[in-house]
């Protein structure tokens, strides 16, 4: 069996009039006459027969047609005989296979496009979050250790994995934590720290935190173990 070639002609599945003539045992010249007759009877079928050309072995160029599935059905409708019927079935199968192939490719392409869109949205979200961490890392009042943590966190969010282990940070305490240790108010701890110049890198570091009174971020100082020992000497 000769292989039937179905082409995708600008979104339309077509087959050459040359191939039809050969497979159905027709003279191509007579087949063209039949096509012209069909077109003359009803202009609506013109789009089913796309004019084209081919080059013969002599080098001369001749007219032919690229015929759509509907055009093929009209053209071979009157062809009779056992072999004609077999070829009709083979062509129908060839059109069906090509149509299925195109639909499958479109489905795969659509799925791939959706996947790429989802990946792009995820990456955009990661970039925004990474930039937020980098922006925080530029705040002058933050300690070097906290800045390093923010930079490392930015890289982790962007790549989806920790490129480097996050810097280990020492245990810290809020003013409220210190106040509970000595049975005083957090405000008093703040005043003592200010009076003794304790809000420095020696006794802790600055962090960004949410204000309990609003949604704004504020600078909050957290004390280290050395600061706790300093408060012990002050409260003796």
Residue 7's contacts (CB-CB under 8 Å, 6 or more residues apart) are 13, 14, 15, 16, 66
**Residue-wise pLDDT tens for the chain (236 aa)?**
458 889 888 778 999 999 999 999 999 999 999 999 999 998 889 999 999 999 988 889 999 999 999 999 999 988 988 888 999 988 988 888 888 888 887 777 776 777 777 777 777 777 788 788 777 777 766 666 667 777 777 777 766 665 545 455 568 888 999 999 999 999 999 999 999 999 888 888 877 665 555 556 677 888 999 999 999 999 87
Report the pLDDT value the prediction gives residue 33, as an integer from 0 to 100.
Answer: 95
Indicate whether this model's pTM tops 0.85: no
pLDDT at 122: 76
- What is the structure's pLDDT at 215? 54
SS3 79: coil
Q: With both helix axes pointing from N to C terminus, report the angle between 186-195 and 175-182 in degrees, rounded to the nearest 10.
A: 100
Give the count of beta carbons closer than 10 Å to the beta carbon of residue 189.
24
Which one, of 94, 112, 93, lies nearest residue 104 by Cα? 112
């Amino acid at each position: 069996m000769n292989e039937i070639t179905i082409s995708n002609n600008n979104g339309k599945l077509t087959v050459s009039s040359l191939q039809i003539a050969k497979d159905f045992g027709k003279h191509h010249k007579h087949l063209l006459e039949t096509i012209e007759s069909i077109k003359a009877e009803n202009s609506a079928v013109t789009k089913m027969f796309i004019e084209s050309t081919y080059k013969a072995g002599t080098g001369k160029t001749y007219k032919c047609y690229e015929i759509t599935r509907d055009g093929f059905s009209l053209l071979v409708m009157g062809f009779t005989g056992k072999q004609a019927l077999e070829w009709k079935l083979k062509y129908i199968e060839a059109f069906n296979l090509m149509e299925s192939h195109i639909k499958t490719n479109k489905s795969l392409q659509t799925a791939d496009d959706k996947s790429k869109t989802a990946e792009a949205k995820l990456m955009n979200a990661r970039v925004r979050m990474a930039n937020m961490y980098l922006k925080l890392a530029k705040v002058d009042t933050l300690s070097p250790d906290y800045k390093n943590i923010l930079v490392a966190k930015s890289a982790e969010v962007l790549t989806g994995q920790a490129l480097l282990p996050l810097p280990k940070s020492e245990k810290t305490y809020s003013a409220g934590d210190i106040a509970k240790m000595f049975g005083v108010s957090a405000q008093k701890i703040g005043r003592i720290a200010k009076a003794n110049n304790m809000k420095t890198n020696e006794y802790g570091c600055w962090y960004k935190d949410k204000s309990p009174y609003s949604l704004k971020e504020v600078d909050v100082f957290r004390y280290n173990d050395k600061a706790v020992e300093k408060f012990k000497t002050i409260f003796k």
